[in-house]
Amino acid sequence: MPRTWAARSLALVLAIGLGFAAGALFLQYGSGDGLQAMDWLRSGLILLSTFWLSWGACQGMLGLFSRSSPAVIPALAEDVPVIRGRTAILVPVYNEEPAPVLARVAAMDASLAALGLTDKFDFAILSDTRNDEIAAAERRWFLRLIAERGAEGRMFYRRRAVNTGKKAGNIEDFIERSGAAYEFALILDADSLMEGGTIAEMVRRMEADPKLGLLQSLPKVIEAESRFGRAMQFSASFYSPIFARGLATLQGHTGPFWGHNAMVRVQAFAQSCGLPVLAGDPPFGGHIMSHDYVEAALLARSGWTVRVDVDLEGSFEEGPENIIDYAKRDRRWCQGNLQHSRLLMAPGLKPWSRFVFLQGILAYIAPLFWLGFITASIAAIVLAPTPDYFPTPYEQLFPTFPHNDTAKAVELAIGIFGLLLLPKLLIAAHAAWTGRARGFGGGWTGLRSTLTELLFSSVIAPVMLMYQTRSVAQVMFGLDSGWPTNNRGDGTLGIAEAWANSRWIALTGLAGLLFVWWLTPVLVAWLLPVGLPMLFAPQLIAWSSQRSGPARTGGARLFTVPAEIAPSPVILAWKHILAVWTGTAEAEAPRPGPAPEPATAYA
C-alpha cells in the first residue's frame, strides 16, 4: 500500500498545485485593470477546472510510467490451470434483440468448451424484458441455443415478473435464489463478449487470492462502424489501457467496478453488497442507479480487495454509434453519479471510496465550470467599470494605461490545452516507441488517428457539454431519467432526426453568438470554437453517425484497432454463429408462436 499512497499523494499534490497556479495566473491577468469580484469568480472557476483536467492528466502519466504483468491467457486445454470452484456467467437482458445476445453466449460457451471447461461454468440469462413479444423471442432463441450447444442443465433462463431495482435487482435476485451453488459469478452486459481463456484466467486469479472480492477486466469496444463509434472504439483500445493502469495504481485494493465484464466472489458479494433503497423519490431517492460504484465501495468496506487487471485481454463490449444514443446513456449515468451525493457520508466507507464517489459527481459537474467561466467572462465585460486613465486628478499630465497582461492569458491557455492534449500525444509516442502501435495500423496511422480523434473530440466537446448541462439541470430539478433501452446496431441518423434532438443546442448557440456580437463584437472570435459546433450541432450529429469509409489503397483505415487486424477467436465465432442463425431458411429458424417454457432454475 505505500506505493498506492505515494501515487495518490503525488497526483493530488500535482493536480491541486496546477489548479492554484492557473487560478493565480488568471488573477495576474485580471489585475491589469484592477481586480473586480468577477475576476475572483473566474479565477475560482479556472482553479476548479484546471484541477479536474490535471487529475485526469496525472492518471495518464501514471499509466505511462507504471508497469503491469503480461497477460496470461491459456490457449489449450492442457495449459489451463486446475479450476476447483464453479462459476455462473450472468447475462442480464432488458428489451434486447435476442439473437445477437444468445449468439454471444454460444460463442463464449464454445470458447470454454475448447478448453475443456464447460463443466465448471453455467450460463444464466436473466431477463428483465418488459415487452412480451421480445420475451417470447428470447425463449425461442434460448431453446435453440441449448439444443445446439447440448447445454441442458448448465444454461438457464428466467424472466422476472417485476424488474425491481433494474439491473442491480436482477443480479441480487440471482444471488439470493441460486448464489450458494457457485463460488464465483461473472457479471456481463447484453453486449459483453469474453474469451474462454480470459474467463478461466480470471477464475484462476480469484482462487489464487482468497481476499479478492471483485476482479474487473478492461473491456474493449468492438464492431463500431460510424465515425463517432469508431472514434470511441479507438479511444477505448488506444488510450484507456494507459489511463486504466494509472487508475489501478491510484486505487490499489479499493479498485473500480464498472458493472460488467467483471468477476465477483459470490460469498463476498452476498455478504457485503445489499443495496439500500434511498428515502424519497427519484432522481436522488429510490433504488441506486449507478450500483457498481456502490458495490465496489461496500466490498472494500468489508475488507475485500477490489482490483482492475489491465493486462487481461479478450474482454469486449459494444458502444453507442451516435451522439444521441451516447447522450441518452450518459443521462442515466449522470443521475446515478449525482445520486451518490446521498452516500458520501455513509458509515464505514474507505476514504478512497468516498473520493471515488466525489470523482463521479465531478465528472458531470466539472464541465459546468467551463460554461460558468464563459458566462462570467461575458458578464465581466458588462459589469466592468469605465477605465480611469487619470486616477489622481489635477496631479497628472499624462494618462495611466492599464498594464497589458495578455501574455499571461496566452500562457494559461497553452497550459490548459497542454493538459488536454499532452497525455494523448505521449501515449501515441509511447505506442510507436514500444511497438504497440502495430496493432493500430502502425506508428503513422496511430499518430494520424490520435490527431484526428483530438480534433474530433474538440469539435464535439461543446455539444457534449450542452447535453451534460441539460442532464445535470434535469436531475437538480427532480426529473427522473428512468432506464431506457440501449440502442444497438446501425445508429445512422438523418438530418431531420438530428435536428429534432439537438435544435435547442443550435438555437442556444445562435442566440449566444448574436448576443455577444451585440454586446461586444471583439469577443465573438474567442467564442467561435464553442459557438460554431453548437450552431451546427445537427449537422455534426448526423455526419458523425454515418458509417466511415473503407481503408484507402495501401494504407490502414483511420481508427484501426487490434480487434480488426487480428480478431479474437470469440469475436469470429460470434459473427459466424449469428450469421448462421439469422441467415438460415425460414423453416430452420425459430418459428413464431407459443414455445415451451425453458428451465427457470439456476442450478
**501-521 pLDDT per residue, tens:** 999 999 999 999 999 899 888
* Residue range 241-260, pLDDT digits in tens: 999 999 999 998 999 999 99
Per-residue confidence (pLDDT) for residue 565, from 0 to 100: 92
Residue 237: inside a domain, yes or no?
Answer: yes
Is the pLDDT reported for residue 442 higher than 90?
A: yes
Q: Give the residue, 263 or 385, on which the prediction is more confident.
A: 263
8-state DSSP, 433: H
Provide CB contacts within 8 A for 502, sequence distance 6+: 324, 463, 537, 538, 541
Provide CB contacts within 8 A for 523, sequence distance 6+: 377, 378, 381, 516
Confidence of residue 400 (pLDDT cuts 50, 70, 90): very low
Q: Is 566 helix (H, G, I), strand (E, B) or coil?
A: coil
Confidence of residue 331 (pLDDT cuts 50, 70, 90): very high
Per-residue confidence (pLDDT) for residue 557, from 0 to 100: 84
Q: Is 409 helix (H, G, I), strand (E, B) or coil?
A: helix
Residue 554: inside a domain, yes or no?
Answer: no
Residue 582: inside a domain, yes or no?
Answer: no
Is the pLDDT reported for residue 81 higher than 60?
A: no
- CA 497 to CA 538: how far, in whole Å? 8
- Which CATH number covers residue 246? 3.90.550.10
Min mean pLDDT across 229-238, 486-495, 527-536, 568-577 is at 486-495
8-state DSSP, 487: P
Confidence of residue 325 (pLDDT cuts 50, 70, 90): very high
Average pLDDT over residues 365-384: 82
- The residue segments making up the domain with residue 235 are 87-321
Residue 308: inside a domain, yes or no?
Answer: yes
Do residues 90 and 185 touch, judged by C-beta distance below 8 A? Answer: yes
Is the pLDDT reported for residue 464 higher than 50?
A: yes
* Composition of the chain by helix, strand, coil, percent to 5: 60, 10, 30
Q: Give the residue, 594 or 336, on which the prediction is more confident.
A: 336
Is the pLDDT reported for residue 150 higher than 50?
A: yes
Do residues 86 and 265 touch, judged by C-beta distance below 8 A? Answer: no
Per-residue confidence (pLDDT) for residue 283, from 0 to 100: 93
Min mean pLDDT across 373-377, 543-547, 567-571, 572-576 is at 373-377
Residue 140: inside a domain, yes or no?
Answer: yes
Strand ranges of the sheet holding 155-159, from the earlier edge strand across to the other edge:
155-159, 121-127, 87-93, 184-187, 262-265, 212-216, 305-308
Grid cell 427532480 is found at 478
Per-residue confidence (pLDDT) for residue 320, from 0 to 100: 94
Relative to beta strand 121-127, strand 87-93 is parallel
Confidence of residue 391 (pLDDT cuts 50, 70, 90): low
Per-residue confidence (pLDDT) for residue 33, from 0 to 100: 60
Residue 550: inside a domain, yes or no?
Answer: no
Per-residue confidence (pLDDT) for residue 36, from 0 to 100: 77
**CB hemisphere CA count around 45 (13 angstroms):** 18
Q: Give the residue, 562 or 400, on which the prediction is more confident.
A: 562
- What percentage of the chain carries pLDDT values higher than 70? 86
Is the pLDDT reported for residue 471 higher than 70?
A: yes
- CA 353 to CA 236: how far, in whole Å? 24
Is the pLDDT reported for residue 440 higher than 50?
A: yes
* Residue range 545-572, pLDDT digits in tens: 999 866 554 456 899 999 999 999 999 9
Residue 483: inside a domain, yes or no?
Answer: no
Per-residue confidence (pLDDT) for residue 411, from 0 to 100: 64
- CA 107 to CA 280: how far, in whole Å? 43
Rounded to the nearest angstrom, the gap between the alpha carbon of residue 5 and the centroid of all alpha carbons in its chain is 25
Is the pLDDT reported for residue 78 higher than 80?
A: no
Query: Alpha carbon of 187 to those of 192, 363, 598: distances in Å?
Result: 9, 25, 21
Domain count, the chain: 1
Is the pLDDT reported for residue 480 higher than 80?
A: yes
Confidence of residue 593 (pLDDT cuts 50, 70, 90): very low
Mean pLDDT of the chain: 87
Is the pLDDT reported for residue 55 higher than 90?
A: yes
| Gyration radius of the chain's alpha carbons | 26
Per-residue confidence (pLDDT) for residue 577, from 0 to 100: 95
- CA 554 to CA 570: how far, in whole Å? 29
Per-residue confidence (pLDDT) for residue 79, from 0 to 100: 53
- Which range in 36-40, 458-462, 553-557, 583-587 is most confidently predicted, on average pLDDT? 458-462
Do residues 307 and 350 touch, judged by C-beta distance below 8 A? Answer: no
Residue 91: inside a domain, yes or no?
Answer: yes
Average pLDDT over residues 61-81: 60
E-strand spans in 94-228? 121-127, 155-159, 184-187, 193-194, 212-216, 220-221
Q: Is the peptide bond before 283 cis (omega within 30 degrees of 0)?
A: yes
* Residue range 175-221, pLDDT digits in tens: 999 999 999 999 999 999 999 999 999 999 999 999 999 999 999 99
* Residue range 100-111, pLDDT digits in tens: 999 999 999 999
Q: H helices within 31-117, ranges in order? A: 37-65, 98-114
Q: Give the residue, 177 or 600, on which the prediction is more confident.
A: 177
Confidence of residue 373 (pLDDT cuts 50, 70, 90): confident
Per-residue confidence (pLDDT) for residue 339, from 0 to 100: 96
Confidence of residue 316 (pLDDT cuts 50, 70, 90): very high
Handedness of CA 324, 327, 329, 331 (dihedral sign): negative
Is the pLDDT reported for residue 419 higher than 90?
A: no
